[in-house]
Amino acid sequence: MNNLRNCLRNLLFTNHTTKLLGGNGRSSNRIETVVIDYSSPNIAKPFHLGHFRAAVTGNFVKNINEAFGHKVIGINYIGDWGTQFDILASGFSKYGDEDELQRNPVEHLYKIYVQANRDIQLLNDRKPLDRIGNENEPVSSAESIVNHITEIQSRD
């Protein structure tokens, strides 16, 4: 019974939305190009249900715009790596272990990232990245972790 109720509710919502937006599924306005970013996940954390919800919502918005005749470009941008890698680089200088990186790189780097984020929350500061690492070895960018991993790989 709940499935029927939800189906009817969705149908009524769709019909009501279509009437509000122009009635026949076609906009009287000019055709535009619309770019929709589905979820923009944080690439340093696992994909979860919230990302799926954002992707479904993005697809809904895409479908509505297409129904009104607009050209729609749907993307899932995952290119914002800067802050995440700064956090990871800073955290690696404090919590990283070369042997563990060799054995289980993805899980080890994830654990470092989570711990470094906890450090940032404890510091209650927006720019703590240079303070997370060892005091003798401040880290300010992802360059150090990339160099570190490259060195490890070149030894093999």
List the Cα angle 136/141/144 in 5-degree steps. Answer: 65
16, 19, 48, 71: the catalytic one is 48
**Identified catalytic residue from 16, 19, 45, 71:** 45
Of 51, 94, 111, 148, the active-site residue reads: 51
Catalytic, 48? Answer yes
| 71 catalytic residue (yes or no) | no
Q: Element (H or E) spanning 40, and its range?
A: none
Query: What sign has the CA pseudo-torsion 104, 105, 108, 114?
Result: negative
The residue assigned the tokens 């093999």 is 156
Residue 45 a catalytic site member: yes
Enumerate the H helices of the chain as residue ranges.
2-21, 49-67, 82-95, 98-103, 105-123, 129-132, 143-155
Catalytic residues: 45, 48, 51
